[in-house]
Amino acid sequence: MKPPNRRFVVERPLILGALLTFAVTAAFLITGLSRTMKASIPRIYAIDSTPAAMQTQLLAIIHYATSRDIPQLTLPEIRVPFDALLGLAPCNLLVFGLGHDSLMWASLNPRGTTIFLEEDSKLVHTILARAPALRVHTVTYRTHLYEADHLMSSYRYEKYCLPPHVHLKGNTRCKLVLNELPDDVYNREWDVIFIDGPRGYYAEAPGRMATIFTAAVMARARKSRGVTHVFLHDVDRKVEKAYAEEFLCRKYFVKVVGKLWHFRIPPDWSYIDVGKSR
């Protein structure tokens, strides 16, 4: 019995030393990580002191900690607009489409203005029941996916789809324009526009032709300094890709991650009818 006891007495200081070393190392790692996060993430992403922003951020934490719903975007895809928001928030963020990730986008823009536009009234009701603080407007589209080719080939012959006549509010002549949005959408200049709606995967769906065209008009009509970041999801589909190349323009393309394209579009009214060739 004595030999085992001697081994235990000898090994105990070694175990305690290893635990002490691990604890000290962990403390240094945590301290370093904390400093890195403080240096890389703006203070605005700390829990905001304003009641509305704090409610949204805390609700987002609870929601994603307990939900089994999986966002349609992958983590690398989410990271692209997140990186843009890091340098812009608080800003004006316009999101076409509503879903399980909507609360996340609102919480990533604390003290900014985040508005969601969605065509499915049932989905609006479902999401607002979970997150009533979100600013959501129901939108009616005048297009169908099966019209995509015709609208692409005919818009050049409608002067109200082209500068200097193109405009958004009340423009009934250009079918690619969203002409009945709320005034709080028309009256703002949007720093970030995220397009992940409306539905565009069957012929009778609205398609994203009008959202892409409208986002382009908004970006090019910007009067303040800076660019508009436009993010378009589902670019693996024919219509999204073709309309992005025509109206958002390859010239302003930044990167692709998965099914997401990122554009940085400066103000310029002369682009619409020559966007693809520039």
pLDDT, tens only, 202-250: 999 999 999 999 999 999 999 999 999 999 999 999 999 999 999 999 9
pLDDT for 260 beyond 90: yes
- Are 16 and 154 part of one and the same domain? no
Distance of CA 128 to the CA centre of its chain: 18
pLDDT for 59 beyond 50: yes
pLDDT-above-90 percentage for the chain: 64
- Are 55 and 27 part of one and the same domain? no
CATH code for the domain of 123: 3.40.50.150
* Number of independent structural domains in the chain: 2
36 or 50: which carries more pLDDT confidence? 50
What tokens does 228 get? 């508009």
Phi/psi for 183 (5° steps) reads -60, -30
Q: What is the mean pLDDT of residues 51-59?
A: 65
Q: What is the mean pLDDT of residues 33-62?
A: 55
273 or 269: which carries more pLDDT confidence? 269
**pLDDT-wise least confident of 54-58, 70-74, 174-178:** 54-58
| CA 96 – CA 116 distance, rounded (Å) | 6
pLDDT, tens only, 178-211: 999 999 999 999 999 999 999 999 999 999 999 9
- Are 62 and 113 part of one and the same domain? yes
pLDDT, residue 33, reads 34
Local confidence band at 60 (pLDDT 50, 70, 90 cut-offs): low
- Are 174 and 248 part of one and the same domain? yes
- Are 82 and 130 part of one and the same domain? yes
Amino acid in position 3:
P
DSSP string, 204-219: TS--SHHHHHHHHHHH
Sign of dihedral through CA atoms 173, 174, 180, 186?
Answer: negative
- Are 265 and 224 part of one and the same domain? yes
- Which residue matches tokens 């992005």? 244
CA-only gyration radius of the chain, Å: 25
pLDDT for 61 beyond 80: no
- Are 238 and 265 part of one and the same domain? yes
**pLDDT-wise least confident of 73-87, 140-154, 240-254, 257-271:** 257-271
User: Could you list the residue range(s) of the whole structural domain that residue 26 is in?
Assistant: 1-40
- Are 20 and 117 part of one and the same domain? no
| CA 273 – CA 152 distance, rounded (Å) | 11
pLDDT, tens only, 117-136: 999 999 999 999 988 989 99
Q: Contact, 131 vs 103, CB < 8 A?
A: yes
pLDDT-above-70 percentage for the chain: 71
**pLDDT-wise least confident of 4-8, 39-43, 44-48:** 4-8
pLDDT, residue 268, reads 83
- Are 36 and 63 part of one and the same domain? no
140, 144, 148, 149: CA torsion to nearest 10:
-140
Q: Return the closest-CA partner of residue 94 out of 232, 220, 226, 238.
A: 232
What tokens does 61 get? 């934490």
Q: Mean pLDDT over all residues of the chain?
A: 82
- Are 23 and 54 part of one and the same domain? no
- Are 14 and 104 part of one and the same domain? no
- Three-state SS for 181? coil
- Are 215 and 178 part of one and the same domain? yes
Q: Contact, 102 vs 132, CB < 8 A?
A: no
| CA 130 – CA 227 distance, rounded (Å) | 33
